[in-house]
Chain A
Amino acid sequence: DTTVKQNPRYKLARVGKPVNLICSQTMNHDTMYWYQKKPNQAPKLLLFYYDKILNREADTFEKFQSSRPNNSFCSLYIGSAGLEYSAMYLCASSRGWGYAEQFFGPGTRLTVL
């Protein structure tokens, strides 16, 4: 099974409220990634876990948190949603590091009102 699952597929949130998105994979991949995709823009890497080590991009450091309680699951947490967080959030995983193939989930579409 080479699928990456994301829950929920659609999420509606209110401004100022927290949001938690979930991703899972059963491929025993070391690395899990979160990307943000807005219309007419390229997918943008937010952060990734290699094993238990979290790496966050400098320009999104303050805005997103993540946890990885075990190898299979990874969450993306927004403490206080703003309108600018409305986007598609894509989770991906890969075996090891380097230029390995990344397997993507179908995404969670977050709408903040």
Chain B
Amino acid sequence: GDSVTQTEGQVALSEEDFLTIHCNYSASGYPALFWYVQCPGEGPQFLFRASRDKEKGSSRGFEATYDKGTTSFHLRKASVQESDSAVYYCALGVNYNQGKLIFGQGTKLSIKP
């Protein structure tokens, strides 16, 4: 079945470090890919989306490129800040007519000042 795998359960970095959170998916057809971010006490918040191969999504300095060949949508940021500490979810949109999302397990990002 359709699934999303986030390799890292937790990532600990220092401010200004480069961030990569890996996301790989398995799906039939041509899914859309999303990143959501969840801060403590809040629900997940949409970061950005990509719908076709080689499309780059970006927001707030974060970016990811849809790669159908490697079935990946890795999240990257060049220089993280303490305020980026949160849980990041990769998600797969598998049914356009329903808007159904399949989420990965999430990656908890902790940034030391």
CB distance from A48 to the nearest CB of B (A): 7
A82 within 8 A of B: no
Interface residue? B46 (CB, 8 A): yes
Number of contact residues on A: which range applies? 20 to 34
- Residues of B within 8 Å of A40, CB to CB, are 9, 105
| A104-B45, A106-B41, A106-B43 as given contacts; A42 in contact with B97, CB under 8 Å | no
Task: Please give the number of chain B residues whose Cβ is less than 8 angstroms from any Cβ of chain A in the complex.
Answer: 26
Inter-chain CA distance A50–B100, complex, in Å, is: 11
Contacts of B100 in A (CB 8 A): 45, 48
What's the nearest-Cβ distance from chain A to residue B98, in Å?
A: 6
B106 A42 Cβ-Cβ under 8 A: yes
A55 to chain B, nearest CB (A): 7
- Do A97 and B43 touch across chains, with their CB atoms under 8 A apart? no
Q: A4-B43, A42-B4, A99-B51 are in contact. Are A50 and B98 (CB under 8 A)?
A: yes
Within 8 A of B (CB), among A61-113: 90-92, 94, 97-107
| A90:B32 contact, CB within 8 angstroms | no
Say whether B62 faces chain A, with CB atoms less than 8 Å apart: no
Q: How far is the CB of B107 from chain A (nearest CB, A)?
A: 11
When distances are taken between beta carbons in the complex, the residues of chain B under 8 Å from A102 are 46, 99, 101
**A98 nearest CB across to chain B (Å):** 5
Q: List chain B residues, Cβ under 8 A from A99.
A: 32, 34, 49, 51, 93, 96, 99
Is A43 an interface residue when CB atoms closer than 8 A count as contact? yes
Whether A90 pairs with B44 at a CB distance below 8 angstroms is: yes
Query: A35 — which chain B residues lie within 8 A by C-beta?
Result: 103
